Amino acid sequence: MSTGRVTAKKEARLDAVFGALADGTRRRIVADLARGPVSVGELAAPFAISLPAVSKHLDVLERAGLIRRERDGRFLRCHLTSEPLDDASAFIEHYRSFWQSSLAQLADYVESTEPALAKRKPKQGKK
């Protein structure tokens, strides 16, 4: 597979992860699954939405690779998959250093210009 295809595939996967996490219900489901595997019924219980609606949210999370479903007797258990979250975290972490550096440079600039600003006399308004 060429480098361009690998990059495009990673980008599509990252898009799917951030798209899945853009919804509050799905983020709550991910938070619940972070505590361990849970049945679909247990996941649906705290929500004021139908079981089919919860199932649609699970479909989105599964397509993004964030969860996997496994049959456990009569129950369908959901498990959190960490790799896509690790990829999203790495993406955010990469840009965190950029923003921290930019903010540090801005702070240095403001601190260096502060004495010059303090020396300026305020302009008098015309009467």
Question: What would the pLDDT profile of 53-73 be if each residue is shown by its tens digit?
Answer: 999 999 999 999 999 999 988
Interatomic CA distance for residues 125 and 127, integer angstroms: 6
Overall number of domains in the chain: 1
Interatomic CA distance for residues 36 and 43, integer angstroms: 11
Provide the 3-class DSSP secondary structure of residue 79.
strand
**From the CA atom positions of the chain, what is the Rg in Å?**
24
**CATH code of the domain in which 38 resides:** 1.10.10.10
Structural element, H or E, at residue 80: strand 75-80
Interatomic CA distance for residues 12 and 84, integer angstroms: 11
Confirm whether 42 is domain-assigned.
yes
Interatomic CA distance for residues 16 and 83, integer angstroms: 13
Confirm whether 52 is domain-assigned.
yes
* Residue 9 belongs to domain spanning: 3-81
Give the tens place of pLDDT for each residue, 65-114.
Answer: 999 999 988 889 999 999 999 999 998 888 887 777 777 777 778 888 77
Interatomic CA distance for residues 11 and 120, integer angstroms: 51
